[in-house]
Amino acid sequence: MNRYYLPSSEWQSHTLCITGEEARHATRVMRVQLGAQVEIIDGCGKSAVCIITHIERSILHCEIQHQKSHPAPQFPVTLCQSIPKGGNMELIVQKAVELGVNTIQPLITQRTVARPDTLEKKQAKWQRIALEACKQCGQNYLPKVAAPLNFQPWISQLEKFDTSIIASLDDQALHLKEHLTNNPLKGSIALLIGPEGDFSPDEYTQAYNAGFQPISFGGIIMRVETASIYGLSVIQHEITSS
């Protein structure tokens, strides 16, 4: 069943109208037909199975058959991601959504090579990628891709998480599995991943002072995107096993 997004502010009690880019995608790409069954989500935990009753050029009129409210995640996960080179951030966003992340915070660190003047447009693109991944994988909560922030002001004003871990090359870092055995996940979770070239010593100090615990992914040094996907996979496994 094809899934489409409609903000909660535009929902009505019996009928829903899909407009804009979502409607154009449905009519021109998916070639939806009258009477087809679709699922519509509001990105805030509500979904509805609908029947298409009328098709205009840029509007789909849908009649709600039944709708459902999905519980909010018990362990909301925030991926604090140093922006990697090239298009790897797009892959990270897509896979992070598929792995159940709730928020993605892009970060500009001392060794980040991304151009700051292009990041506003990139943020909008990353949010669109998150939406498409959300619709495809069955997520009912649309993850937010926050505005990119410089590391120092971000870490100095960071909200408190119940679980805060940082992928670290520090010799004192415990393997992630060992760390989670000793410190089971609880409440809100933050996973902090560095850029190519790793965090600077000063950034490590700031992260530790902010409460992040150093964890290791083993003896193999992973690429940034691999580390993000690996860390989120282990966290998701722990969440679903708890």
Q: What pLDDT, in 10s, does the model give residues 35-77?
A: 999 999 999 999 999 999 999 878 999 999 999 999 999 999 9
Instruction: Judge whether 109 and 82 are in contact, CB under 8 Å.
Output: yes
Under-50 pLDDT residues of the chain? none
Q: What is the pLDDT of residue 214?
A: 96
Q: What is the pLDDT of residue 13?
A: 85
Q: What share of the chain is helix, strand, coil (3-state, %, to 5)?
A: 35, 30, 35
Q: Which residues contact 72 (CB under 8 A, 6 or more apart)?
A: 45, 141
Q: What is the pLDDT of residue 81?
A: 97
What pTM did the predictor assign? Answer: 0.93
- Domains of the chain, start order: 3-69 (2.40.240.20), 77-241 (3.40.1280.10)
Q: What is the pLDDT of residue 49?
A: 97
Q: What is the pLDDT of residue 221?
A: 87
